[in-house]
Amino acid sequence: MKKFQAQPGFVVQAFRFALDPNAQERSLRSHCGAARAAYNWAVGWVEASWWQRRAEETYGVPEAGLTQWRPWSLPSLRKAFNEAKHTGPRFASWWEENSKEAYNTGLANAAAAFDNYAKSRQGKRRGRAMGMPRLKSKRKARLSCRFTTGTIRVDADGRHVTLPRLGTIRTHEPAGKLLAGVQAGTARILSATVRHERGRWLVSFQTEVERDLEHVARPEVAVGIDLGVKTLAVTADSTGEIRTVPNPRHYDRAREQLRRASRVVSRRQGPDRRTGQKPSRRWEKANAQRNKVHHRVANLRQDALHKLTTGVAAEYGTVVVEDLNVAGMLRNRRLARQIADAGFGEIRRQLTYKTRRRHATRLVVADRWYPSSKTCSGCGTVKAKLPLHIRTYECDACGLVIDRDDNAALNLAALAAAAVTGTGVAGDQGTVPAVSKPRGADRKTRTTRPRRKAEAGRAGGATLPHQRQTETRDRTQAEALTLW
């Protein structure tokens, strides 16, 4: 799919609105199901040639006589799908019920999944290793469909949207802001994506918007943000002002309500895949009530994080945050629930794009091993060890006594000037720290992962059946990536 290039003075922005469909809900689910079916077809079509070649090799077929590799580029998948939808029994009877954009959504997602897998295998993609694309389950797949062509607009009343084949759907909230931009010529709709999320149907318009950079209230002031569980965030700016943002703990407050709702669900006749048992009406009603509690918690968390990040991005010219290993922190079974409820990763993601909207605003990310909590904000002395249960920092060199989180926030704010002065000490910006970092003081988390049972089994020389199957699949896929 062709990527959009924004014009000078224009930015790409999304406008999301909740929908109130009536008879269109069946069509919405049909379009999203068609996207899932097209995705599964593309994955199976590409994999079929891989396994066919593997089977032919076991019969001694020479390389020249093996089945050719099937390409996974989007144009190739479109061409093959257009041939299969007319003749194949899977799509021939119902593919005309949905827009072509629904099938294109699934094919585009499959092409992107294969590209990510290929780049990960070749070492061209950062992050964790990507596995082979797998089929999407009808029960668990997220309902989503994207429209790039056809009639995509916000109606003149600002309370309805029109999408291809779906027709006019009423919005739960007014879309006047987007409509005013379209009518004034400062906004242009590029695509629309419908999705079922948190019990509601949502539509997201990707638009090209003309917008000037916004100015911050104090562009010369830098702020350091120290995230935590006891308090959601402690902000300290370069002027010495410290603010504490309490942790709302939305999930903990709703745990008792969730416990009661889950108890009601467990007493109803639920689904059972082993026996084919269907859920009762009472179970579906109770499960919907429990989901409402989860959705409310997610909405409250999102609202609180947006208010925090918007206020920070609108006030300070430089924002300093830590490069936290959130995925590793979630492995701690004692703190995983509190960390997930706080939303550390979401805070950094929102600050990343919100600081780009401001004029002369930058986001500084501290190194993951920077000892912000162990460093004295007054003289720069670094402690070798500082356990989590010690909440007050006491400096042995200068005698400074300060709250642990306040000290970390001050050190993070000092990093904004470190690029100019070469230091990262909050108390004295022009001198080198008095004591160098002792051994182990610059690391907060473990650098290695605990050994898994599978790794222990391989070390002992034992190979399990599922391991042999995985190794065979990896070799087959590696050959495909090499030749394709």
Active site residues: 226, 322, 405
* Of residues 388, 373, 385, 375, the one with CA closest to residue 439: 385
Q: What is d(CA 374, CA 404) in angstroms, rounded to the nearest whole number?
A: 9
**What dihedral angle (degrees, nearest 10) is formed by the CA atoms of 427, 428, 429, 432?**
-120
- Counting Cβ atoms within 10 Å, is residue 37 exposed (0-12), middle (13-18) or buried (19+)? buried
**Given CA atoms 83, 87, 88, 93 in this order, what sign does their dihedral have?**
positive
* Of residues 297, 405, 307, the one with CA closest to residue 341: 297
Instruction: Give the position of tokens 């827009």.
Output: 99
* Of residues 375, 352, 354, the one with CA closest to residue 364: 352
Q: What is d(CA 331, CA 440) in angstroms, rounded to the nearest whole number?
A: 22
* Angle (nearest 5°) at CA 266 between 262 and 272: 125
Q: Could you give the 3-state DSSP secondary structure of residue 443?
A: coil
